[in-house]
Protein backbone atom coordinates (compact mmCIF):
# COMPACT_ATOMS: atom_id res chain seq x y z
CA UNK A 1 0.00 0.00 0.00
CA UNK A 2 1.35 3.44 -0.95
CA UNK A 3 -0.28 5.21 1.98
CA UNK A 4 -1.83 3.89 5.17
CA UNK A 5 -5.44 5.08 5.08
CA UNK A 6 -7.04 6.40 8.23
CA UNK A 7 -10.18 4.47 9.14
CA UNK A 8 -12.97 6.85 10.15
CA UNK A 9 -15.99 4.59 10.48
CA UNK A 10 -17.26 1.47 12.16
CA UNK A 11 -16.89 -1.55 9.91
CA UNK A 12 -19.59 -4.05 8.89
CA UNK A 13 -19.82 -6.80 11.52
CA UNK A 14 -17.35 -9.60 10.84
CA UNK A 15 -15.19 -7.65 8.36
CA UNK A 16 -11.83 -6.05 9.13
CA UNK A 17 -10.31 -3.19 7.11
CA UNK A 18 -7.94 -5.73 5.53
CA UNK A 19 -10.82 -8.03 4.60
CA UNK A 20 -12.63 -5.12 2.92
CA UNK A 21 -9.54 -4.24 0.87
CA UNK A 22 -9.10 -7.92 0.04
CA UNK A 23 -12.71 -8.04 -1.22
CA UNK A 24 -11.97 -5.10 -3.48
CA UNK A 25 -8.77 -6.78 -4.70
CA UNK A 26 -10.64 -10.02 -5.52
CA UNK A 27 -13.21 -8.06 -7.53
CA UNK A 28 -10.48 -6.33 -9.57
CA UNK A 29 -8.56 -9.61 -9.99
CA UNK A 30 -11.69 -11.31 -11.33
CA UNK A 31 -12.40 -8.47 -13.75
CA UNK A 32 -8.87 -8.73 -15.16
CA UNK A 33 -9.09 -12.54 -15.39
CA UNK A 34 -12.38 -12.19 -17.23
CA UNK A 35 -11.03 -9.63 -19.68
CA UNK A 36 -8.01 -11.83 -20.33
CA UNK A 37 -10.23 -14.87 -20.91
CA UNK A 38 -12.29 -13.11 -23.59
CA UNK A 39 -9.10 -11.82 -25.27
CA UNK A 40 -7.53 -15.31 -25.24
CA UNK A 41 -10.67 -16.71 -26.83
CA UNK A 42 -10.60 -14.13 -29.61
CA UNK A 43 -6.91 -14.97 -30.16
CA UNK A 44 -7.94 -18.59 -30.66
CA UNK A 45 -5.99 -19.74 -27.60
CA UNK A 46 -8.86 -20.97 -25.43
CA UNK A 47 -12.10 -22.52 -26.62
CA UNK A 48 -14.65 -20.93 -24.32
CA UNK A 49 -15.23 -18.52 -21.42
CA UNK A 50 -18.12 -17.06 -19.45
CA UNK A 51 -17.74 -13.64 -17.85
CA UNK A 52 -19.08 -12.56 -14.47
CA UNK A 53 -18.67 -8.83 -15.21
CA UNK A 54 -21.50 -7.16 -13.28
CA UNK A 55 -21.74 -10.04 -10.76
CA UNK A 56 -18.48 -9.43 -8.86
CA UNK A 57 -20.06 -7.71 -5.85
CA UNK A 58 -22.78 -10.34 -5.41
CA UNK A 59 -20.22 -13.15 -5.54
CA UNK A 60 -17.52 -11.62 -3.37
CA UNK A 61 -20.14 -10.51 -0.81
CA UNK A 62 -21.41 -14.11 -0.69
CA UNK A 63 -17.91 -15.59 -0.37
CA UNK A 64 -17.12 -13.47 2.68
CA UNK A 65 -20.48 -14.26 4.31
CA UNK A 66 -19.74 -17.96 4.88
CA UNK A 67 -17.49 -19.62 7.45
CA UNK A 68 -14.39 -20.64 5.53
CA UNK A 69 -13.32 -24.22 5.99
CA UNK A 70 -16.72 -25.10 7.47
CA UNK A 71 -19.47 -24.14 5.04
CA UNK A 72 -19.71 -25.39 1.46
CA UNK A 73 -20.63 -23.60 -1.73
CA UNK A 74 -22.20 -25.12 -4.83
CA UNK A 75 -21.50 -22.48 -7.46
CA UNK A 76 -22.51 -22.20 -11.11
CA UNK A 77 -20.48 -21.52 -14.24
CA UNK A 78 -20.61 -17.72 -13.83
CA UNK A 79 -19.08 -17.75 -10.33
CA UNK A 80 -15.47 -16.78 -11.09
CA UNK A 81 -15.38 -14.05 -8.44
CA UNK A 82 -16.87 -16.41 -5.86
CA UNK A 83 -14.21 -19.01 -6.64
CA UNK A 84 -11.33 -16.51 -6.64
CA UNK A 85 -12.59 -15.06 -3.35
CA UNK A 86 -12.65 -18.56 -1.83
CA UNK A 87 -9.04 -19.22 -2.72
CA UNK A 88 -8.99 -20.48 -6.30
CA UNK A 89 -5.85 -18.92 -7.74
CA UNK A 90 -5.49 -17.17 -11.12
CA UNK A 91 -3.10 -19.98 -12.11
CA UNK A 92 -5.80 -22.57 -11.36
CA UNK A 93 -8.35 -20.49 -13.25
CA UNK A 94 -6.07 -20.22 -16.29
CA UNK A 95 -5.27 -23.95 -16.25
CA UNK A 96 -8.96 -24.70 -16.65
CA UNK A 97 -9.38 -22.08 -19.39
CA UNK A 98 -6.45 -23.55 -21.33
CA UNK A 99 -7.74 -27.10 -20.56
CA UNK A 100 -4.30 -28.25 -19.44
CA UNK A 101 -3.40 -31.62 -17.93
CA UNK A 102 -2.83 -30.02 -14.53
CA UNK A 103 -6.31 -28.44 -14.48
CA UNK A 104 -7.43 -28.98 -10.91
CA UNK A 105 -11.15 -29.23 -11.64
CA UNK A 106 -11.28 -31.87 -14.37
CA UNK A 107 -7.79 -32.40 -15.86
CA UNK A 108 -8.89 -30.40 -18.89
CA UNK A 109 -12.11 -32.40 -19.41
CA UNK A 110 -14.91 -30.01 -18.49
CA UNK A 111 -16.13 -26.64 -19.64
CA UNK A 112 -14.20 -23.91 -17.80
CA UNK A 113 -15.59 -22.73 -14.46
CA UNK A 114 -17.03 -26.12 -13.54
CA UNK A 115 -15.13 -25.98 -10.30
CA UNK A 116 -14.31 -28.89 -8.05
CA UNK A 117 -12.11 -27.90 -5.15
CA UNK A 118 -12.91 -30.04 -2.10
CA UNK A 119 -10.09 -28.56 -0.01
CA UNK A 120 -11.71 -25.12 -0.37
CA UNK A 121 -15.23 -26.52 0.09
CA UNK A 122 -16.35 -25.80 -3.47
CA UNK A 123 -18.49 -28.64 -4.87
CA UNK A 124 -18.51 -29.51 -8.53
CA UNK A 125 -21.47 -28.90 -10.81
CA UNK A 126 -22.94 -30.21 -14.02
CA UNK A 127 -23.68 -28.07 -17.08
CA UNK A 128 -27.35 -28.97 -16.80
CA UNK A 129 -29.03 -25.84 -15.52
CA UNK A 130 -30.40 -26.25 -11.96
CA UNK A 131 -29.13 -29.83 -11.54
CA UNK A 132 -26.74 -28.61 -8.84
CA UNK A 133 -29.58 -27.14 -6.75
CA UNK A 134 -30.76 -30.62 -5.76
CA UNK A 135 -27.14 -31.63 -5.10
CA UNK A 136 -26.72 -28.67 -2.74
CA UNK A 137 -29.93 -29.54 -0.92
CA UNK A 138 -28.75 -33.15 -0.63
CA UNK A 139 -25.50 -31.93 0.90
CA UNK A 140 -27.46 -29.84 3.40
CA UNK A 141 -29.51 -32.91 4.32
CA UNK A 142 -26.31 -34.91 4.83
CA UNK A 143 -24.83 -32.26 7.12
CA UNK A 144 -28.07 -32.23 9.10
CA UNK A 145 -28.08 -36.05 9.42
CA UNK A 146 -24.46 -36.01 10.59
CA UNK A 147 -25.27 -33.22 13.07
CA UNK A 148 -22.52 -31.04 11.65
CA UNK A 149 -23.02 -27.25 11.93
CA UNK A 150 -22.38 -26.71 8.23
CA UNK A 151 -24.37 -24.49 5.86
CA UNK A 152 -24.51 -25.03 2.10
CA UNK A 153 -24.77 -22.01 -0.20
CA UNK A 154 -26.09 -22.73 -3.70
CA UNK A 155 -25.78 -20.12 -6.48
CA UNK A 156 -27.60 -19.85 -9.83
CA UNK A 157 -29.11 -17.39 -12.29
CA UNK A 158 -32.76 -16.34 -12.51
CA UNK A 159 -33.18 -18.56 -15.60
CA UNK A 160 -32.45 -21.63 -13.45
CA UNK A 161 -35.56 -20.86 -11.39
CA UNK A 162 -37.73 -21.91 -14.37
CA UNK A 163 -36.45 -25.48 -14.10
CA UNK A 164 -38.53 -28.14 -12.35
CA UNK A 165 -35.48 -29.29 -10.43
CA UNK A 166 -35.12 -25.84 -8.86
CA UNK A 167 -38.68 -26.01 -7.51
CA UNK A 168 -38.25 -29.59 -6.28
CA UNK A 169 -35.07 -28.63 -4.45
CA UNK A 170 -36.58 -25.59 -2.73
CA UNK A 171 -39.72 -27.50 -1.83
CA UNK A 172 -37.70 -30.28 -0.18
CA UNK A 173 -35.44 -27.79 1.62
CA UNK A 174 -38.50 -25.92 2.95
CA UNK A 175 -40.27 -29.06 4.20
CA UNK A 176 -37.18 -30.25 6.08
CA UNK A 177 -35.93 -26.78 7.11
CA UNK A 178 -32.49 -27.63 5.80
CA UNK A 179 -29.37 -25.51 6.46
CA UNK A 180 -29.11 -24.13 2.94
CA UNK A 181 -29.02 -20.62 1.45
CA UNK A 182 -30.07 -20.16 -2.16
CA UNK A 183 -28.40 -17.19 -3.87
CA UNK A 184 -29.99 -16.15 -7.15
CA UNK A 185 -27.68 -13.87 -9.13
CA UNK A 186 -30.39 -12.17 -11.16
CA UNK A 187 -28.63 -10.66 -14.19
CA UNK A 188 -31.91 -10.13 -16.08
CA UNK A 189 -31.07 -12.50 -18.94
CA UNK A 190 -30.92 -16.25 -19.56
CA UNK A 191 -28.76 -16.21 -22.68
CA UNK A 192 -31.04 -14.03 -24.90
CA UNK A 193 -34.26 -14.44 -22.88
CA UNK A 194 -35.09 -11.43 -20.68
CA UNK A 195 -36.66 -11.99 -17.29
CA UNK A 196 -40.11 -10.76 -18.42
CA UNK A 197 -40.30 -13.69 -20.87
CA UNK A 198 -39.08 -16.12 -18.23
CA UNK A 199 -41.57 -15.42 -15.40
CA UNK A 200 -44.64 -13.27 -14.82
CA UNK A 201 -43.33 -11.78 -11.55
CA UNK A 202 -40.73 -9.03 -11.00
CA UNK A 203 -38.87 -10.72 -8.14
CA UNK A 204 -37.47 -14.25 -7.94
CA UNK A 205 -37.43 -13.78 -4.14
CA UNK A 206 -41.26 -13.90 -4.15
CA UNK A 207 -41.08 -17.56 -5.11
CA UNK A 208 -39.72 -18.49 -1.66
CA UNK A 209 -43.15 -17.96 -0.05
CA UNK A 210 -44.44 -20.99 -1.99
CA UNK A 211 -41.92 -23.16 -0.14
CA UNK A 212 -42.44 -21.79 3.34
CA UNK A 213 -39.34 -19.67 3.88
CA UNK A 214 -38.21 -16.09 3.29
CA UNK A 215 -37.06 -14.52 0.10
CA UNK A 216 -34.89 -11.42 0.42
CA UNK A 217 -33.95 -9.00 -2.35
CA UNK A 218 -30.58 -7.31 -2.24
CA UNK A 219 -28.56 -4.97 -4.42
CA UNK A 220 -26.12 -7.42 -5.97
CA UNK A 221 -23.91 -4.60 -7.24
CA UNK A 222 -23.05 -3.75 -3.63
CA UNK A 223 -20.74 -6.28 -1.92
CA UNK A 224 -21.48 -5.04 1.60
CA UNK A 225 -25.27 -5.30 1.27
CA UNK A 226 -24.94 -8.76 -0.26
CA UNK A 227 -22.48 -9.80 2.46
CA UNK A 228 -24.79 -8.59 5.23
CA UNK A 229 -27.90 -10.30 3.86
CA UNK A 230 -26.22 -13.60 2.96
CA UNK A 231 -24.41 -13.72 6.31
CA UNK A 232 -27.65 -13.24 8.19
CA UNK A 233 -29.24 -16.05 6.13
CA UNK A 234 -26.24 -18.35 6.66
CA UNK A 235 -26.25 -17.87 10.42
CA UNK A 236 -30.04 -18.31 10.60
CA UNK A 237 -29.68 -21.61 8.69
CA UNK A 238 -26.90 -22.72 11.04
CA UNK A 239 -29.07 -21.96 14.06
CA UNK A 240 -31.84 -24.25 12.73
CA UNK A 241 -33.95 -21.49 11.14
CA UNK A 242 -34.10 -23.22 7.75
CA UNK A 243 -33.41 -21.97 4.23
CA UNK A 244 -33.51 -18.46 2.72
CA UNK A 245 -33.71 -17.43 -0.91
CA UNK A 246 -31.54 -14.36 -1.52
CA UNK A 247 -32.06 -12.57 -4.83
CA UNK A 248 -29.00 -10.47 -5.62
CA UNK A 249 -30.04 -8.09 -8.40
CA UNK A 250 -27.08 -7.54 -10.68
CA UNK A 251 -26.48 -7.44 -14.42
CA UNK A 252 -24.56 -9.22 -17.15
CA UNK A 253 -22.24 -6.81 -18.95
CA UNK A 254 -20.86 -9.22 -21.53
CA UNK A 255 -22.47 -11.70 -23.90
CA UNK A 256 -23.72 -14.92 -22.26
CA UNK A 257 -20.41 -16.59 -23.15
CA UNK A 258 -17.71 -16.18 -25.80
CA UNK A 259 -20.02 -18.22 -28.11
CA UNK A 260 -22.81 -15.64 -27.90
CA UNK A 261 -23.28 -12.16 -29.41
CA UNK A 262 -25.55 -10.02 -27.25
CA UNK A 263 -25.88 -7.40 -30.00
CA UNK A 264 -28.43 -9.75 -31.60
CA UNK A 265 -30.84 -9.09 -28.69
CA UNK A 266 -29.60 -5.95 -26.83
CA UNK A 267 -28.93 -2.52 -28.31
CA UNK A 268 -25.46 -0.93 -28.01
CA UNK A 269 -27.10 1.86 -25.93
CA UNK A 270 -28.53 -0.68 -23.46
CA UNK A 271 -25.12 -2.30 -23.06
CA UNK A 272 -23.34 1.04 -22.68
CA UNK A 273 -25.77 2.15 -19.98
CA UNK A 274 -24.76 -0.83 -17.81
CA UNK A 275 -21.41 0.82 -17.05
CA UNK A 276 -23.21 3.16 -14.62
CA UNK A 277 -23.98 0.10 -12.43
CA UNK A 278 -20.37 -1.18 -12.36
CA UNK A 279 -19.75 -2.54 -8.83
CA UNK A 280 -15.99 -1.91 -8.87
CA UNK A 281 -15.81 1.94 -9.02
CA UNK A 282 -18.77 2.04 -6.69
CA UNK A 283 -17.05 -0.10 -4.03
CA UNK A 284 -13.84 1.88 -4.57
CA UNK A 285 -15.73 5.10 -3.73
CA UNK A 286 -17.28 3.41 -0.67
CA UNK A 287 -13.83 2.42 0.60
CA UNK A 288 -12.31 5.86 -0.10
CA UNK A 289 -15.14 7.72 1.63
CA UNK A 290 -14.49 5.65 4.74
CA UNK A 291 -10.75 6.11 4.66
CA UNK A 292 -10.17 2.44 3.85
CA UNK A 293 -8.40 3.06 0.56
CA UNK A 294 -5.75 5.75 0.16
CA UNK A 295 -5.14 8.03 -2.79
CA UNK A 296 -2.89 5.70 -4.83
CA UNK A 297 -4.04 2.35 -3.43
CA UNK A 298 -6.59 1.48 -6.12
CA UNK A 299 -4.06 1.97 -8.93
CA UNK A 300 -1.46 -0.04 -7.03
CA UNK A 301 -3.88 -2.92 -6.38
CA UNK A 302 -4.87 -2.92 -10.05
CA UNK A 303 -1.19 -3.14 -11.07
CA UNK A 304 -0.65 -6.01 -8.64
CA UNK A 305 -3.73 -7.86 -9.95
CA UNK A 306 -2.67 -7.31 -13.57
CA UNK A 307 0.79 -8.73 -12.81
CA UNK A 308 -0.82 -11.76 -11.14
CA UNK A 309 -3.09 -12.40 -14.13
CA UNK A 310 -0.25 -11.91 -16.65
CA UNK A 311 1.99 -14.34 -14.79
CA UNK A 312 -0.81 -16.91 -14.44
CA UNK A 313 -1.65 -16.68 -18.17
CA UNK A 314 1.93 -17.19 -19.35
CA UNK A 315 2.53 -20.00 -16.87
CA UNK A 316 -0.69 -21.89 -17.68
CA UNK A 317 -0.22 -21.53 -21.44
CA UNK A 318 3.18 -23.20 -21.12
CA UNK A 319 1.77 -26.25 -19.29
CA UNK A 320 1.26 -29.51 -21.22
CA UNK A 321 -2.18 -30.60 -22.51
CA UNK A 322 -3.78 -33.82 -21.22
CA UNK A 323 -2.06 -36.99 -22.50
CA UNK A 324 -3.89 -39.63 -24.51
CA UNK A 325 -3.81 -42.06 -21.59
CA UNK A 326 -5.68 -39.45 -19.50
CA UNK A 327 -8.71 -39.70 -21.76
CA UNK A 328 -10.84 -41.24 -19.02
CA UNK A 329 -9.36 -39.37 -16.05
CA UNK A 330 -12.27 -38.07 -13.92
CA UNK A 331 -14.72 -39.81 -16.27
CA UNK A 332 -14.67 -43.39 -14.90
CA UNK A 333 -13.43 -44.48 -11.49
CA UNK A 334 -11.56 -47.51 -12.83
CA UNK A 335 -11.46 -47.46 -16.63
CA UNK A 336 -14.42 -47.48 -19.05
CA UNK A 337 -14.75 -51.22 -19.59
CA UNK A 338 -13.80 -52.67 -16.23
C1 LIG B 1 -31.40 -27.98 -18.61
C2 LIG B 1 -30.66 -27.03 -19.50
N3 LIG B 1 -31.34 -26.28 -20.38
C4 LIG B 1 -30.70 -25.39 -21.16
C5 LIG B 1 -29.33 -25.23 -21.06
C6 LIG B 1 -28.62 -24.22 -21.94
N7 LIG B 1 -28.27 -23.05 -21.13
C8 LIG B 1 -27.02 -22.87 -20.67
S9 LIG B 1 -26.86 -21.49 -19.78
C10 LIG B 1 -28.48 -21.08 -19.97
C11 LIG B 1 -29.05 -19.82 -19.39
C12 LIG B 1 -29.14 -19.83 -17.91
O13 LIG B 1 -29.52 -18.56 -17.47
P14 LIG B 1 -29.46 -18.15 -15.96
O15 LIG B 1 -29.82 -19.30 -15.11
O16 LIG B 1 -30.25 -16.92 -15.81
O17 LIG B 1 -27.92 -17.86 -15.70
P18 LIG B 1 -26.96 -16.79 -16.40
O19 LIG B 1 -26.25 -17.54 -17.50
O20 LIG B 1 -27.81 -15.68 -16.93
O21 LIG B 1 -26.02 -16.33 -15.37
C22 LIG B 1 -29.14 -22.04 -20.75
C23 LIG B 1 -30.56 -21.97 -21.12
C24 LIG B 1 -28.65 -26.05 -20.13
N25 LIG B 1 -27.32 -25.96 -19.94
N26 LIG B 1 -29.33 -26.91 -19.34
**In this predicted structure, what is the pLDDT of residue 1?**
47
pLDDT in tens, 268-281: 999 999 999 999 99
Phi then psi dihedrals of residue 114, to 5 deg:
-95, 80
Taking CB atoms and a 6 Å cutoff, what residues make up the pocket around ligand 1?
A: 78, 127-129, 156-160, 187, 189-191, 252, 256
- Rounded distance between C-alpha atoms, residue 280 and residue 277, angstroms: 9
Task: Measure 129 CA to ligand 1 centroid, in angstroms.
Answer: 5
| Domain presence at residue 335 | no
Length of the chain: 338
| Domain presence at residue 1 | no
- Rounded distance between C-alpha atoms, residue 293 and residue 314, angstroms: 30
What CATH number has the domain bearing residue 41? 3.40.50.970
Of the candidates 27, 5, 80, 51, the one whose C-alpha atom is nearest the C-alpha of residue 227 is 27
Give me the domain span that covers residue 26.
17-316
pLDDT in tens, 25-72: 999 999 999 999 999 999 999 999 999 999 999 999 999 999 999 999
User: Above 50 in pLDDT, residue 2?
Assistant: no
pLDDT in tens, 237-269: 999 999 999 999 999 999 999 999 999 999 999
Phi then psi dihedrals of residue 74, to 5 deg:
-120, 95
| Domain presence at residue 174 | yes
| Domain presence at residue 2 | no
Buried b (16+ CB within 10 A) or exposed e, 52-89: bbbbbbbbbbbbbbbeeeebbbbbbbbbbbbbbbbbbe
Nearest protein CA to atom 17 of ligand 1, as residue: 157
291 contact partners, CB below 8 Å, separation of at least 6: 5, 6, 7, 8, 9
| Domain presence at residue 10 | no
Question: Using 50, 70 and 90 to split pLDDT, how confident is the model at 7?
Answer: low
Mean pLDDT of the chain: 95
- Rounded distance between C-alpha atoms, residue 291 and residue 175, angstroms: 46
pTM of the model: 0.96
| Domain presence at residue 336 | no
| Domain presence at residue 7 | no
- Total domains present in the chain: 1
Q: Which atom of ligand 1 is nearest to the CA of 189?
A: 20
Three-state secondary structure string covering 256-315: CCCCCCHHHCCCHHHHHHHHHHCHHHHHHHHHHHCCCCCCCHHHHHHHHHHHHHHHHHHH
- Rounded distance between C-alpha atoms, residue 331 and residue 323, angstroms: 14
Is residue 185 classed as helix, strand or coil in its secondary structure? Answer: strand
Ligand 1 pocket test: which of 133, 190, 251, 255 has the largest number of ligand atoms within 8 Å of its C-beta? 190
| Domain presence at residue 37 | yes
Amino acid sequence: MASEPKVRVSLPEGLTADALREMYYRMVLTRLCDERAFALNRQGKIPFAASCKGHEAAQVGTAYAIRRGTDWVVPYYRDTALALALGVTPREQMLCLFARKADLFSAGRQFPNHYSVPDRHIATISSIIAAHITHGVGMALAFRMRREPVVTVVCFGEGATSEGEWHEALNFAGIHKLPVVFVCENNEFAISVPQRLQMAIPNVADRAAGYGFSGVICDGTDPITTYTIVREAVERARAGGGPTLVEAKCYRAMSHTTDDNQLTYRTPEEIEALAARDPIPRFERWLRERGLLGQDDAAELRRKAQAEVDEATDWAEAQPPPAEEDLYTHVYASGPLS
